[in-house]
A = this chain, B = another copy of it.
Amino acid sequence: MAIASQEVSPARFSAQLRSHALQTGIMDLILDRGLDVGDALPTESELSAELGVGRNTVRESLKVLQALGVIEIRHGFGMFVAPNNFSALVSGLTFRGRLSLRHKGEEAMELIDVRQALESGLIGLAIDLLTDEHVADLRATMEAMEDAAKKGEPLHEHDAEFHRRLYAPLNNELLINLMDVFWQVYRKIHLAIGTGPVNLEQQTQDHWDIFEAVANKDKALASERLQRHFDGIRLKLKEVAAA
């Protein structure tokens, strides 16, 4: 399974296409050999030989695949087919947000909007599938958050957990990961634009309100309260953009 286009007329294909072909070549190799998550890939040298390109070149593609969450690279050990994760997306999107903060913060606002749209748009579907067990899990998370708030500890871990469990009924790991990405980007933007003194009690209460609406299966109210959840940062973003 070689990059067939190389033998014929390399010049006809743009460099970008060749680079992309190498990446898909490696992915095809994984699929052709029936490698599964956790299985080891050939070594860099072997790949270099089999694909007929230099080791540096294959390394560039491997780094890209690593960034895309396709493979996992372990120094001194080998390379393996990775379980999916979107972590790479976070840095790219955060960069976008920071970049846009310099003019009008439009993209940062869009990032917030995406998270808001995802959360308030999908909560209805989640409520449809909500079981008592899910509600119990949510309550447990909220109690942990309340404990932390009383001790003056930071809430972000509990916050993340709450939002993850909110959409657990959808039973879709991929979607949870995706929403987690936007949670993280949200948080980074929040940190970047600087926050005033955080009111732990208020923050906890906001989440209790959301929990209550969800537990009562009131889709409209839950959706509205989730929207509210983002009003604060939107205001601050506008201030920063105006300045």
Contacts and interface: CB of A to CB of B under 8 A. Distances in A.
Interface of A: 1-4, 6, 11-12, 14-16, 19-20, 23-24, 27, 30-31, 34, 36-37, 56, 59-61, 63-70, 73-75, 81, 83-89, 91-92, 95-96, 98-99, 102-103, 107, 110-111, 113-114, 117-118, 120-122, 124-125, 160, 164, 170, 172-178, 180-181, 184
Contact of A87 (B3, B11, B121, B173): B3
A12 to B, nearest CB: 5
Given A3-B181, A117-B175, A124-B124, 13 more contacts: A3-B177, A3-B180, A12-B75, A16-B73, A30-B99, A31-B95, A60-B60, A60-B63, A63-B63, A65-B92, A84-B96, A110-B175, A121-B122
A52 B26 CA distance: 30
B170 A98 contact: no
A117 B172 contact: yes
A125 B114 contact: no
Given A92-B68, A180-B3, A75 B110 contact: no
A24 B128 CA distance: 41
